[in-house]
Amino acid sequence: MPFDPDTELMLKVRRGNRAAFEALVAKYQRPVINTIFRSIGDLAEAEDLTQNVFVQVWRVRGRYKPTAKFSTWLFTIVRNTCLNEVRRRARHPADSLDKPVTDAADGSELPWQIPDQQAKPPNEEALAAELRKRVDAALAALPEAQRTAMLLLRHQNMPYEEIAKVMRCSLSATKSLIHRAREMLRDQLKPYLRP
Amino acid sequence: MNCTECQVEFDRLLDGRLDAPAGELVRQHLADCPGCAAAWRDYEVAWAVFASLPEVEPSSNFVARVMNQIDRVEREMPARVWFFPVPRRWLAPAVAAVMLLAAGAGVWMKAQHEADQVVSQELAANLPVVQHLDLLKDFDIIADLDRIAPQQEHDPIEEMLNALWNS
C-alpha cells in the first residue's frame, strides 16, 4: 500500500494522540458532513451524525489496522452511520413539512403552496435553485448503494477500488453501481437539461 | 465501434480514465452518431449539475465540539484494568466463569462444614463410649516388640563355652 499520511496520523490516534485526532477531524469534517447531508437531506442532523462518526472513530481507534487507507475505514463508518439513520427513520417516521395538507372537508390533498398565476417567470437564480432541488430529489430516489457510491466519487474523489472496499463489493459491481446511478440521474434530470 | 460499445465507455470518458486510442474511438463514434452524441451530452451535463451542487459547511466550532465530546467519552469510559488486559469481548465470559467457580467453591465448602458438624454431633452423642475406648491397645504390639522380635545380641561368654564344647 502506498504511503498514506492519514494512516500515519491514525496510528498516532490509536496510541491516544489527541492532536493527531484533531488534525484528522479538521481535514475530514467537510467531506463527511457533505456525504451525510446528501444522504439524509437534513443539515442539523447531518452535523450531529458527523460528530457521532468522529466520536465513533475515537472509541474504536484501538481496532484500526493500517491494511487500507484511513479514508476507506472512515467512510465505511460514515456509510454504516447513514444506514443506521435511514433504518431509524424507517422505524420512527416523522411528519414531513413538505407533506401535502389534507382538506378536512373531503379528505383531498391540498397543495402546500398555491401557485400564483400572475407571478413573473422565474429568474435564472430561481431556475438554478429548482434544478438543485430536482438533483436532491433524484439523489434521494436512488437506491442507497448507488447514492453512496456517487457521493464518495463526488465529495471524496475516491478511486473506484476504494469505493468498492467501502461498499464491500467487487470492482465490477462498483462500476455498475456508478453507471446505473448516473443513468438514473440523467433520466430524472432530462426534462431540465434540454434547452 | 457500435453504440453499445460507445455508451459503455461513458463512465471512463467522464472520469478521464480512458486511454488515448480508446478515447479517440469513442469521440469518433460520437461525431458520427447523433443518438450517442445526445446521450453523452445528457450524461455529461447531468453529472456536471450533480457535481456543482453547493457544499455545506460544518459549524465553525465543529472541531472543538468533537474534542469536547471526546473528553466526555473519556470520562464516561470505565477505568482500564492495566494489570490484566482482558480483551473486552472476553470480559463477560470471564466474569461469568469466575462467578461460577466462586459459587461452586461456596457450595463445596458449605457441604464440608455440614459433614464436619455431623461427625461432631455423633461424637458428642457417644462421648461416654468414646471416653472408655482403650485407644492405646494397639500400642501393646509395640510394648511386646521384644517378644515378637527378640534382640540378637552376641554373648561372648556363651560363644566361648560353645567353642570349647565343640572342640
Contact A146, A184 (CB under 8 A): yes
- Contact yes or no for A21 and B70 at CB 8 A: yes
For an interface test with B, the pick among A17, A24, A54 (most B C-beta atoms closer than 10 Å) comes out as: A54
Q: Where do the domains of chain B lie?
A: 3-51, 92-148
Task: Write the residue in B46, B54, B57 that is nearest to A185 by C-beta.
Answer: B46
B136: pLDDT confidence band, cut at 50, 70 and 90? low
- Contact yes or no for B46 and A182 at CB 8 A: yes
Find the mean pLDDT for residues B75-98. Answer: 72
Q: What is the mean pLDDT of chain A?
A: 83
The residue whose grid cell reads 458520427 is B32
Residue A131, all three cell numbers: 434544478
Altogether, the residues listed in chain B come to a count of 167
Question: Does residue A21 register a pLDDT over 70?
Answer: yes
Question: Which option is the CATH number for A122-193: 3.30.420.340, 1.10.10.10, 1.10.3720.10, 2.70.98.20?
Answer: 1.10.10.10
For an interface test with A, the pick among B13, B62, B65 (most A C-beta atoms closer than 10 Å) comes out as: B62
Name, in order, each residue with C-beta under 8 angstroms of A66's C-beta and a sequence gap of 6 or more: A1, A4, A7, A10, A11
Question: Does residue B133 register a pLDDT over 80?
Answer: no
Within an 8 Å CB–CB cutoff, is residue B55 touching chain A?
Answer: yes
Find the mean pLDDT for residues B128-132. Answer: 66
Q: Identity (one letter) of the amino acid at A35? A: T
A56: pLDDT confidence band, cut at 50, 70 and 90? very high
Share of chain A above pLDDT 90, in %: 46
Quote the pLDDT of residue B63: 94
Q: What is the mean pLDDT of chain B?
A: 81
Burial letters B16-40, b for 16+ CB under 10 A, else e: eebeeeeeeebeebbeebeebeebb
Within an 8 Å CB–CB cutoff, is residue B48 touching chain A?
Answer: no
Which residue of A lies nearest to B67 if distances are taken between CA atoms? A22
Quote the pLDDT of residue B37: 92
Name, in order, each residue with C-beta under 8 angstroms of A16's C-beta and a sequence gap of 6 or more: A61
C-alpha–C-alpha distance, residues A57 and A51, integer Å:
10
C-alpha–C-alpha distance, residues A170 and B89, integer Å:
31
Task: Write the residue in A47, A135, A153 that is nearest to B59 by C-beta.
Answer: A47
CATH topology of domain A5-91: Rna Polymerase Sigma Factor; Chain: A (1.10.1740)
What number of H helices and E strands is found in chain B?
10, 0
User: pLDDT tens digits, residue range A160-176?
Assistant: 999 999 999 999 999 99
Burial letters A137-176, b for 16+ CB under 10 A, else e: ebbeebeebbbbbbbbbbbbebbbebbbbbbeeeeeebbe
- In degrees rounded to 5, what are phi and psi of residue B12? -65, -35
Domain with CATH 1.10.1740.10 in chain A: 5-91
Within an 8 Å CB–CB cutoff, is residue B51 touching chain A?
Answer: yes
User: pLDDT tens digits, residue range B35-60?
Assistant: 999 889 988 988 888 888 888 999 99
| CA atoms in the 13 A half-sphere facing the CB of B89 | 1
**Higher pLDDT among residues A119 and B23, named by residue:** B23
Residue A186, all three cell numbers: 440523467
Quote the pLDDT of residue A163: 93
Task: Write the residue in B45, B63, B73 that is nearest to A22 by C-beta.
Answer: B63
What number of H helices and E strands is found in chain A?
8, 2
The residue whose grid cell reads 467457580 is B101
Domain with CATH 1.10.10.10 in chain A: 122-193
Quote the pLDDT of residue A97: 46
Residue B165, all three cell numbers: 564344647
C-alpha–C-alpha distance, residues B73 and B76, integer Å:
5
**Higher pLDDT among residues A160 and B132, named by residue:** A160
Within an 8 Å CB–CB cutoff, is residue B105 touching chain A?
Answer: no
**Higher pLDDT among residues B159 and A29, named by residue:** A29
Contact A101, A109 (CB under 8 A): yes
Within an 8 Å CB–CB cutoff, is residue B73 touching chain A?
Answer: yes
- Contact yes or no for B63 and A46 at CB 8 A: no
Contact A162, A72 (CB under 8 A): yes
- Contact yes or no for B63 and A135 at CB 8 A: no
Task: Write the residue in A34, A59, A178 that is nearest to B56 by C-beta.
Answer: A34
A115: pLDDT confidence band, cut at 50, 70 and 90? low
Q: Identity (one letter) of the amino acid at A139? A: L
A53: pLDDT confidence band, cut at 50, 70 and 90? very high
Question: Does residue B64 register a pLDDT over 50?
Answer: yes
CB-CB neighbors (< 8 A) of B46 in chain A: 182, 185-186, 189-190, 193
Task: Write the residue in B15, B42, B50 that is nearest to A135 by C-beta.
Answer: B50
User: pLDDT tens digits, residue range A78-99?
Assistant: 999 999 888 888 877 665 444 5
